[in-house]
Structure 1
């Protein structure tokens, strides 16, 4: 591994992230005008290789960060990623460094990276510190569920890869698509009755975990013109049969990973309490890929548009 000064870049403050994204939103001129159209960006950008002055061996710890690298066209620099990085399909075939929350310094360093892009969930913190102490640049990203943070993440990844023009291109397209989706959702569903949606994390074993406030699912439902059927708590908690009945969901939303959708609706409806809800009686179950729904990456506009269509049609 080439020697260079260790760097553990702290995630910037929320205020600085918001200022950065506002500059992109306001600086794009006519290209960012409000458009009542569905998103146009969904596929990875064309491969442009690694920047001449940028890192040559990059590891991404976070599915959204992997997507951003591909959107920038910098996939040739990516030598590994974590288990949450399942999109695009070629990213799923890269060497894996394990689960994003339980990284191993030895495993990461064995791949001789120049740069580790560490998502908000990446850790443990002592492992990130060990990787930085070994001479690897570590760029960290903030926790949150806003478009400001997505925009800021796009620009920070581009900065870390020394690809500012590609970063501006992807951020501008994202902002354009996002404004179009927001206008479309408002026009189509703004006057409609907001469905009550119960989100169940679909890959947690036998225990049903449901989303409260300050979660990606809660934010996504708000963007899609729907209401979270469970509020008054933050994060995730187990769902009881009594809680399911009291929530009175019109729709149950759940996730899967990869292609594992077999009998998901039947399994959910077999859980105590769910069959006795409006969603259960009318079998209103909506399934989404976990990374697509909750990743808050470059595909966010597409995910919101699809979620709005599905929960309002269920």
Structure 2
């Protein structure tokens, strides 16, 4: 048995090996454990999608900065800007004195993220890859921001919505779809991407699902050879059908012949946020039109 001095020494040593009571930790999408001494109070996000995620997780009041084109929710417009996602203004970012920066792995300049890391700025690296990843990101960000209850509720709502869509369209006849991400160069998504998974929830079959790259560049002839029954695109912005008009030059395609050319709101589909649920519902409605036109 310890004497009193030994008892206190053992107790203090034991406490020294424990994490502080307020410490919060989460695993980011680079498989790094990110720990903060306390929930973050000054957060900067480095993509529009990440800004949306933080607001959806109930942590909007803790945001002190973001990048250009962060336009949702409306409150995001009031946040100071620290450059574009592909070229950050590190001086402006550091002036905000963030205690957490949420970064986009493939979208932010690696050398600038490395610089922030060297300066000791806590970084959470995010790269949502699939539909389930939206809910998981909400939960992890909510943990770091101290808004776990709100984040858990948002994640549960999102998961329930995807389950409902899967059940509703489980027996729907398949529709072969080409989703156009960009025009020049012509780009799409493969089967691992959340957009392809959203199509699948509606009974859509991505004609480029087998592509090795998540966002591959493709040729016009490859699309013509696959002869999709429907073409969907976000265009250059909401309601922009310019890219679809170019497909009308290829009247031999099934999608063109049946007028199955659809514009979707890119902010609802091409951002991995809870609004993906609304975007997926819109896709499902478009694919129902395709089935009616057979």
Partner residue in 2 for 1:193: 173
CA contact (8 A) 1:61 1:116 kept: yes
Say if 2:145 is the partner of 1:161. yes
**In the aligned structure 1, how far is the partner of 2:267 from the partner of 2:212?**
20
**In the aligned structure 1, how far is the partner of 2:155 from the partner of 2:173?**
33
Cα gap change, 1:95/1:247 in structure 2, threshold over 3 Å: closer, same or farther? farther
**In the aligned structure 1, how far is the partner of 2:164 from the partner of 2:72?**
23
Say if 2:164 is the partner of 1:180. yes
Partner residue in 2 for 1:215: 193
| Shift of residue 154, structure 1, vs aligned partner | 0.7
CA contact (8 A) 2:42 2:63 kept: yes
> Which of 222, 227, 235 is the equivalent residue of 2:205?
227
SS of the residue 1:144 aligns to: coil
> Deviation digits for residues 156-186 of structure 1, max 9, x if unmatched?
1111111222222222222222222222222
SS of the residue 1:211 aligns to: coil
CA contact (8 A) 2:235 2:241 kept: no
**In the aligned structure 2, how far is the partner of 1:166 from the partner of 1:251?**
38
Mapping of 1:240-251 within 5 angstroms? 240-251=219-230
**In the aligned structure 2, how far is the partner of 1:262 from the partner of 1:247?**
22
Cα gap change, 1:241/1:130 in structure 2, threshold over 3 Å: closer, same or farther? closer
| Shift of residue 250, structure 1, vs aligned partner | 0.7
Q: Which moved more, 1:169-178 or 1:96-105?
A: 96-105
> Deviation digits for residues 100-146 of structure 1, max 9, x if unmatched?
34435334224332221123434333322321333422112244213
TM-score, normalised to structure 1, is: 0.72
Unpaired segments of 5 or more residues in structure 1?
Answer: 1-7, 17-52
Tell me which of the two structures has the higher relative contact order, counting C-alpha pairs closer than 8 angstroms and 6 or more residues apart: 1
Q: Which moved more, 1:127-136 or 1:241-250?
A: 127-136
RMSD: 2.9
Say if 2:258 is the partner of 1:282. yes
CA contact (8 A) 1:86 1:291 kept: no
**In the aligned structure 2, how far is the partner of 1:64 from the partner of 1:89?**
14
Partner residue in 2 for 1:306: 282
> Which of 30, 41, 44 is the equivalent residue of 1:59?
44
> Deviation digits for residues 71-104 of structure 1, max 9, x if unmatched?
2333222222234533223325544334434435
**In the aligned structure 2, how far is the partner of 1:158 from the partner of 1:199?**
32
Cα gap change, 1:13/1:130 in structure 2, threshold over 3 Å: closer, same or farther? closer
Unpaired segments of 5 or more residues in structure 2?
Answer: 1-24
Mapping of 1:1-314 within 5 angstroms? 11=28, 54-83=39-68, 85-92=70-77, 94-147=79-132, 149-186=133-170, 190=171, 192-202=172-182, 204=183, 206-235=184-213, 236-256=215-235, 258-259=237-238, 261=240, 263-270=242-249, 274-314=250-290
The higher radius of gyration belongs to 2
SS of the residue 1:158 aligns to: helix
**In the aligned structure 1, how far is the partner of 2:152 from the partner of 2:195?**
28
> Deviation digits for residues 169-204 of structure 1, max 9, x if unmatched?
222222222222222222xxx1x32111111114x5
| Shift of residue 260, structure 1, vs aligned partner | 5.5
